[in-house]
């Protein structure tokens, strides 16, 4: 088998050659392989993380990491069933730029800040908060934040504690390619929704079968 296909470790090094040949022999095709210049390891452009809760008395949760494949379809990188969410991101993704889901952040902004200002237009100020996140300009970023704080002084603490460098384009150190929400992980969660109500062995088997079905379809 190794004589025909090569070793598992060696094949990773041939990915760069493989992508180049695809582009050369199939004009118009897109094939990219990103390699970390420091570790020489294969890199994923974006990995989406989520921790859906299991619907049983033990209140465990599923940690899942997903991404998009070359056809922009859902690709399961890995998942784990644990008793609680902890600091897995800091331990397993050392040096990675961790970004927050804007949709959840806006929801928290509405609950923790806007509810204290009943006369304010929730839709308008949610839109202004999104402008803080989307603008690539540091000057515009600060203008939108000042606009919010001038109208709602309580927003200052919320914004500082939310770590803007993890969700605002003007401050984020990595590349988000315009992806501001964790929708793909939410799709995965909905995809295996039935598993949330199953006993542990049946749950793992259901998720496994779902993944295998999409691989072989």
Tokens of 33: 């392989």
Q: Is the pTM of this model over 0.85?
A: no
Sheet holding 48-50, edge to edge: 48-50, 61-68, 74-82
List pLDDT tens digits, range 40-84: 666 666 788 877 666 666 567 778 888 887 677 788 888 877 776
Q: CA angle at residue 49 from 45 to 54, to 5 degrees?
A: 155
Predicted confidence at residue 111, as pLDDT, reads 94
194/140 Cα distance (integer angstroms): 44
- Average pLDDT of the chain to the nearest whole number: 81
- Which of the two residues, 104 and 207, has the higher pLDDT score? 104
For residue range 4-20, list pLDDT tens digits in order.
Answer: 545 555 666 676 777 78
User: Tokens representing 30?
Assistant: 């897109």
- Every domain of the chain and the residues it spans: 1-43, 48-99+176-216, 102-166
């Amino acid at each position: 088998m190794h004589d025909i296909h090569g070793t598992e470790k060696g094949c990773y090094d041939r990915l760069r050659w493989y992508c180049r040949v695809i582009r050369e022999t199939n004009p118009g095709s897109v094939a990219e392989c990103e390699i970390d210049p420091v570790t020489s390891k294969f890199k994923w452009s974006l990995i989406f993380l989520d921790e859906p809760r299991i619907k049983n008395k033990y209140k465990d949760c599923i940690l899942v990491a997903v991404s998009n494949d070359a056809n922009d379809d859902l690709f399961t990188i890995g998942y784990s069933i644990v008793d609680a969410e902890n600091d897995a991101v800091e331990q397993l993704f050392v040096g990675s730029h961790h970004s927050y889901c804007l949709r959840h952040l806006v929801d928290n902004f509405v609950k923790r800040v806007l509810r204290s200002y009943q006369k304010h237009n929730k839709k308008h100020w949610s839109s202004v908060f999104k402008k803080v996140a989307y603008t690539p300009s540091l000057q515009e970023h600060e203008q939108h934040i000042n606009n919010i704080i001038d109208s709602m002084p309580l927003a200052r603490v919320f914004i500082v504690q939310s770590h803007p460098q993890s969700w605002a384009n003007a401050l984020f150190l990595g590349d988000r390619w315009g992806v501001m929400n964790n929708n793909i992980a939410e799709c995965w969660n909905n995809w295996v929704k039935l598993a949330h109500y199953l006993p542990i062995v049946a749950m793992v088997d259901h998720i496994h079968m779902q993944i295998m079905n999409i691989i072989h379809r």
